[in-house]
Structure 1
């Protein structure tokens, strides 16, 4: 069977003459009908090989492949590509126990290192320990399987306290209070303590956040006010260093924010929900956008019927882009002075970036990843200063970053990538505790210290680049949820990909989309 609309060919696998059980993808084509991927399977219908065929800007068609080894029941035992071999083991309940990686000669040149990841589980199948080269994390749970204690490689314990329904009401680090939380009858968070500040939240009839503020009033007084019929009257009060309101249209799109520190910002949308404008009331800061039929951004001097070939933007304002045959951004020119180049491994992960200004090298960044694709280290050289950072992960959330003599522990809202607090530890100094204050989608707008003083404050453009950094006493690199800002490139690391906030898109093609 061939599906011309999505340019994918399938085979239907049936059992004993019954109705087809599975559709297996055999080949994938680009919009021009050129083959881009070929998939092979064993007799059990399990994927054993992927052949990729790239297409370059000069018509070149390089190939590469990944092989998968399976046991008789289809579990992945080995993965082999040009950069490394990874081996997997399981327990009798099919839970992953180990991943062991050995780099090839080519992988070593790209910075791929040998490593082993270990996982342990309790009789209920819950993860209780994971060991990586970055350290060991241990997990304890209550009878409802809520995480109660996360033990860090340092021996510290991040404790989670819950009330009867299983909703979080306190976080503490070895007994040191991080935050107390209170919830309404629908278990929505209505306030949390953040040092001497108490942050409060209100919701509209659809459950969307409609206002928030951080107040110097003690929590017991705020609790009384929030229980009144008009708590919103408190939002603009003078003793709130932070407050903002949100307004939505009938489709649920944010159309207006009113912020004590940023003023009023309005948003406009096209009929299909794409962002059309961001209006700050100032001509110099306001933004407008146009798109082609595939939602690629277009310059305003292009025709409304233009489109971006192969979804690879070649030019945006004063920036020009070039790509490798796999769709990865390899060159970005900014104006007449700046050139950035990017190099990748065979899994399309960025391993090196260089920036030249007026033909002189300004910065270099090199990046390392573990067997699960998480970035575990980076080295940046900028302005003659070399910086090494290592990253520890809890699942897919960055838990801690380390550099010589210093570490930062990140604490998140429950079940979210929205940051709540950060604990900084410098060698020979006491811990410093900072609190994040985010917008309605979890983007950090301010960071305060224990005393409630703003130590970091930013205003963003529509697609996540910083427009104004009003306060920058403490380095703060988190951006949109799950994103980490790299100063040496201007890109945001976003787990498996890198995001360019200037143009509002990733620097790689989305390998997970099949059409």
Structure 2
């Protein structure tokens, strides 16, 4: 396994070798399984994840956008998910989804021309908002960890069971109404944590947490001032 960190402790690159549930087993230092590349904004929030499985050739590109310290939405080529939380907390309430990637403003290149307020898309009239395909409602335990999600009929479409340190030991997703049940998912775990399938780690905004050992694997950016 090869992990590259940037100076503030965030993971930039993650290479895994061999096989296994967590995909961290090294077999002769060869047989590369997957690569993942993460990108962050100036505040250290992860804004993109690109991964490739070298056996199947499958590639995934996900973008993330934030509302302060909470994840506002994520989007890939199949689906866009917007997240709504309890006030002033990381406890999720709703996933609002539609089955296509998000449409962003194009950023003009002003390198060879003068800036024009009239041509800047950010100052133009906003586009018509897209209608959501569905709303999925979270049911969390007293710690704020998602246990189930239901659709607009009240039917359970996703449920999970966890071990003591947050590892998901069982996960089920099914819907009679949404056309593609395979894209029903929830990666939110303990409050403020987001599960990464390619590493098995939980992204916790400023650092990464391993639910298999119950420890953070990257340093706290506040250092000793944080008490550890």
Pick from 482, 486, 490 the counterpart of residue 192 of structure 2: 482
Shift of 1:341: 1.9
Asked which structure has the greater RCO (Cα within 8 Å, sep 6+), the reply is 2
Matched with 2:141 is 439
CA-CA distance at 1:391 after TM superposition: 0.7
Q: Verify the 8 A CA contact 2:206 2:220 in the aligned structure 1.
A: no
Structure 1 partner of 2:36? 365
Question: Distance in 2 between the 1:470 and 1:392 partners?
Answer: 26
Would you say 1:452 and 2:154 are equivalent positions? yes
Aligned length: 176
Match of 1:395 in 2: 68
Q: Is the 8 A contact 2:206 2:221 kept in 1?
A: no
Matched, 1:354 2:24: no
Relative to total residues, which structure has the larger strand share, 1 or 2?
Answer: 1
Describe the shift of the 1:429–1:386 C-alpha distance in structure 2 as closer, same or farther (beyond 3 A).
farther
Unaligned 5+ runs, structure 1: 1-339
Shift of the alpha carbon at 1:414? 1.1
Shift of residue 366, structure 1, vs aligned partner: 0.4
CA contact (8 A) 2:9 2:219 kept: no
Deviations 1:402-426 (A, max 9, x none): 1125311000011110000001111
Q: Using the TM superposition, give the Cα deviation of residue 430 of structure 1 relative to its aligned residue in structure 2, in angstroms.
A: 5.5
Tell me what 1:344 maps to: 5
TM-score, structure 2 length as denominator? 0.72
The whole-number CA distance in structure 2 between the counterparts of 1:511 and 1:348 is 7
Q: Does 1:413 align with 2:123?
A: no
Q: How many Å apart are 1:513 and its aligned residue?
A: 4.3
- Which has the higher Rg, Structure 1 or Structure 2? 1
- Cα RMSD (Å) of the superposition? 1.8
TM-score scaled by structure 1?
0.33
CA distance in 1, matches of 2:157, 2:197: 19
Secondary structure of the residue aligned to 2:138 is strand
Alpha-carbon distance in 1 for matches of 2:185, 2:33: 20
Aligned twin of 2:205: 495
SS at match of 1:509: coil
1:490 positional shift: 0.4
Unaligned stretches of 5+ in structure 2? 19-26, 101-129, 175-180
